[in-house]
Amino acid sequence: MSSDDQSAESFHGEDDLNKKKLESLKNLRENINWKVKKERNELLGQLYPLISDWTIEISDLRSIFRSKEINWLLIEEVKNLIELLEHITTDQFYRRNYDETIYQCIFLEFVNKTGYKDEPEVNRDGKPLLRRTTPLHRASRFKKYLEYRGSDNRHYWIDHIIRKLFNIYNRFDLNYIDDLGCTHFHVACEYSLEDVVQKFLELGQDPNILVQETGNSPLYLALRHNYGEKVSRMLLKHGADPSLANKDGRKHLCMSLARITGIPRIWK
């Protein structure tokens, strides 16, 4: 057999394998009863062996999963990772840290590989429905909890996930809001995603929108962490009000402004 014949045989063999993997993926989806919680919960574990080394191009992931299903699977995967990070000790975390695959979100990586981008549901008038909880909201909530649990760097895995999720939820002209009144813009400000914040602001996002539950402003969220100075400057340039107080009635945000070079102390 010539080398050309061997190459052709190898190509067709790989092509057949890819077709089988794609068919298996479709069958998994079709055989799940989404109304049965147990079946839904088991789906991620069934998907992982199939998609962990995925190389097949999928022109539209919606041809296999509905948008709601993708959103749900991503939320569940984020929740599973957080549960792992919350329940292991610092020693266990560092012993496992040599194997980064333990903390990877395989379905998230798979969705990113396919090039899938989330699109909003619309009402009867064709207007986007912004009241929804996305994996970004879930990831940001859990990270706040982790930060108060200990001093190791396990929460940096959530930083990584949030960045990946913004590749999927990339409609910066839409600001999704969850049941706590936290928006994607708030998440971007808190995690100092300068490029994401810039895109929101360029598309007309109000820099003073408050988190409904806490009254925290985007500027306060950006300044809660030591690495938020560039985002803070960006917000101030676009009209952020540093005098806003949260629902506790305290203007502790203003104290943080002193960390930024060239911005004077403005509290009494």
User: Which string of DSSP letters, residue by residue, matches 159-209?
Assistant: HHHHHHHHHHS--TT---B-TTS-BHHHHHHHTT-HHHHHHHHHTT--TTP
103 near 164, Cβ under 8 Å?
Answer: no
Judged by phi (left if over 0) then psi (alpha if -120 to 50, else beta), residue 241 lies in beta
Q: What is the pLDDT along the chain (268 residues), one digit of tens a residue?
A: 555 444 444 434 456 777 888 999 999 999 999 989 889 889 999 999 999 888 888 989 999 999 999 999 999 999 888 888 777 777 776 666 545 555 678 999 999 999 999 999 999 999 999 999 999 999 988 766 556 555 567 777 888 899 999 999 999 999 999 999 999 999 999 999 999 999 999 999 999 999 999 899 999 888 876 678 899 999 999 999 988 877 766 555 555 555 554 454 443 3
- 207-234 as b/e: b if 16+ CB within 10 A: bebbbeebebbbbbbbbbeeebbebbbb
Nearest Cα to Cα of residue 146 among 220, 218, 223, 79: 79
218 near 250, Cβ under 8 Å?
Answer: no
The predicted structure's pLDDT at residue 41: 85
Tell me how far apart the alpha carbons of residues 183 and 186 are, in angstroms, rounded to a whole number: 5
What residue has token string 């909201």? 137
Tell me how far apart the alpha carbons of residues 189 and 205 are, in angstroms, rounded to a whole number: 12
Nearest Cα to Cα of residue 258 among 246, 266, 250, 249: 266
Q: What is the 3-state composition of the chain as percent helix, strand, coil, each rounded to the nearest 5?
A: 55, 0, 40
Nearest Cα to Cα of residue 174 among 227, 121, 125, 124: 121
- Give all domains of the chain, ordered by start, each with its CATH number: 66-261 (1.25.40.20)
Q: Which tokens belong to 245?
A: 């107080």
